[in-house]
Amino acid sequence: MKAKHMIVVFSIIAIAFAIIGGSVYASSFKFSVTATKTKLKPGESTVVVMKIQDIVDTNNLGINALESTLEYDTNVLEVVTSSDMSGKNNWTITYNAQGKNFLVSNITSGVKEDQEIGSIKFKVKDNVGKTKTIIKFKNVKSNDGSNLMTESDKQIELTIDGDGTSTSGTGTNGNVSTGNTGNSLISGNKTNDEASVPIPKAGVNGKWVLMICILGVIMILSYAKYRTIDK
């Protein structure tokens, strides 16, 4: 009888762990950038389109905010301003010029499917010689309402076919405009006052918590009963 009782107890424990494992959401997403042109002449512009995709398990609420920091060579490219940024598909962009970071947000609803969220225009300066330059999107992060989600840095390489004299060499060793990563627009499940965005909450569903509690009580009572019987 003791062996039978132990099997029942271990079965209950296994069910509890299965429910706990299934109730914790591992939220994730992919962020990609593509340029309309990667070969330019001095004075020409390219538009970099930002997209989110492969959104996984955000408690069916989706994503409605994304933050990143720009890094690019200002010897080759004009300084980016908020007027160079444009949201897509009900997304809007808030740019922190001092920190070089920006927040793309959608206050209408959380997005669950692949979608273009915005674009940024980059213009090549006049009198730039033949060179290559890199635009980086660093510290990419989003939020599922409970947990901060991060993505790897993305970059685009541009080839400049100019007749002038480049002051930046390869375009990455000159006057590189980098952002201040200390002031995040997304932190935990909040955003700062500059770009306040309601982010949907996700995580462990309430019904699963209740079921886990009930199973815990059953496990305790079963164990106490079986110990009494075995005595």
Q: Looking at 5-14, 55-64, 67-76, which range is the least confident one? A: 5-14
Looking at the structure, do residues 177 and 134 belong to the same domain, yes or no?
yes
Looking at the structure, do residues 135 and 183 belong to the same domain, yes or no?
yes
Looking at the structure, do residues 106 and 153 belong to the same domain, yes or no?
yes
Looking at the structure, do residues 40 and 149 belong to the same domain, yes or no?
yes
Looking at the structure, do residues 75 and 178 belong to the same domain, yes or no?
yes
Looking at the structure, do residues 110 and 198 belong to the same domain, yes or no?
yes
Phi, psi angles (nearest 5°) of residue 33: -135, 140
Looking at the structure, do residues 124 and 199 belong to the same domain, yes or no?
yes
Instruction: State the CATH number of the domain containing residue 70.
Output: 2.60.40.680
Residue 153 parent element (H or E): none
- pLDDT, one tens digit per residue, over 39-52 is 999 999 999 999 99
Which of residues 220 and 24 earns the better pLDDT score?
220
> Is the pTM of the predicted complex or chain greater than 0.75?
no
Looking at the structure, do residues 103 and 195 belong to the same domain, yes or no?
yes
Nearest Cα to 68, choosing from 4, 117, 124? Answer: 117
Structural domain total, the chain? 2
Looking at the structure, do residues 131 and 184 belong to the same domain, yes or no?
yes
Note down the domain range covering 7.
2-22+207-230
pLDDT at 221: 62
Looking at the structure, do residues 75 and 157 belong to the same domain, yes or no?
yes
- pLDDT, one tens digit per residue, over 166-197 is 444 444 434 566 655 445 555 544 333 333 33
Asked whether the predicted pLDDT for residue 28 surpasses 70, the reply is yes
Looking at the structure, do residues 78 and 155 belong to the same domain, yes or no?
yes
pLDDT at 144: 79
pLDDT at 168: 46
Asked whether the predicted pLDDT for residue 91 surpasses 50, the reply is yes
- pLDDT, one tens digit per residue, over 116-154 is 999 999 999 999 999 999 999 999 999 877 788 999 999
What six digits make up the tokens of 202? 């996700």
Q: How confident is the model at residue 155 (pLDDT cuts 50, 70, 90)?
A: very high
pLDDT at 65: 95
Nearest Cα to 226, choosing from 30, 6, 48? Answer: 6
Asked whether the predicted pLDDT for residue 79 surpasses 80, the reply is yes
Looking at the structure, do residues 32 and 146 belong to the same domain, yes or no?
yes
How far from 66 is each of 27, 53, 104, 129, 138, CA to CA, in Å?
14, 12, 5, 35, 12
Asked whether the predicted pLDDT for residue 222 surpasses 70, the reply is no
